[in-house]
Structure 1
Amino acid sequence: MARPSVRSLDGLVLAPVADQAPGQVGTRTRFTYHEKDGEIWAEYAGGDVVRGHLVGTREGDRLDFRYVQLKRDGTTSSGHCVSAVVELADGRVRLEETWEWESQDGSGTSVVEQIPAEEGAAQAR
């Protein structure tokens, strides 16, 4: 059962639990989060995303950030996201996201979850 969390996101690696539309963030995308004094930021890459960055704020269990990314086809896109931070029963973190593009049409919801430490270590090799 999921429960609210106040745990720091600093240093956590998260991945989407499902693929989004083609050319967007997907299950091969990895987000490395940082957090300090109510500020959050992350770098991400993988799948169709060559490089992405997000920056915003955290208030309690609510994240509010903007993101920008470069895709493999050379195009860029940006948007806005609000996420709820939830701690899973096994102690990992889940972000339940509601996002909207600002550089193009489209909006939706997605879920990213913390990668178990052993999986993250294996991918780093």
Structure 2
Amino acid sequence: MKKIYHLSTCNTCQRIIKEINPSDDVILQDIKTEAITEEQLEEMKAMVGTYEALFSKRAQLYRQRGLNEQNLSEDDYKRLILEHYTFLKRPVMIVNDEILVGNSKKVVAAATEAFSK
């Protein structure tokens, strides 16, 4: 399976997708219009190890809600990601059994290589 969880209104996500240039067999899921399911989140967590690794601490709501001043548990991260799409670190790219999370240069380079195979 090849899939990219992204936000269509995010310029960074759009730039990365353009850079990766995914083939037609790659599923693009806009998490704003098609929310991630608990099952999808569980699958991502199983691949990456923790919900925290999938959680975006850059989200505006993170500071607005004062979450940066709390000790969040794995259950909190899971609940928050399912509650609002902005808490998912983007993009999340899955290529078969490999998961790449975020938009660092290293992740984008690895994703570009993985999707080109």
TM-score range, shorter chain: under 0.3
Give the TM-score of the pair, scaled to structure 1.
0.24
Structure number having the greater helix percentage:
2
Structure number having the greater strand percentage:
1
- Which structure has more relative contact order (CA 8 Å, sep 6+)? It is 2
Give the TM-score of the pair, scaled to structure 2.
0.25
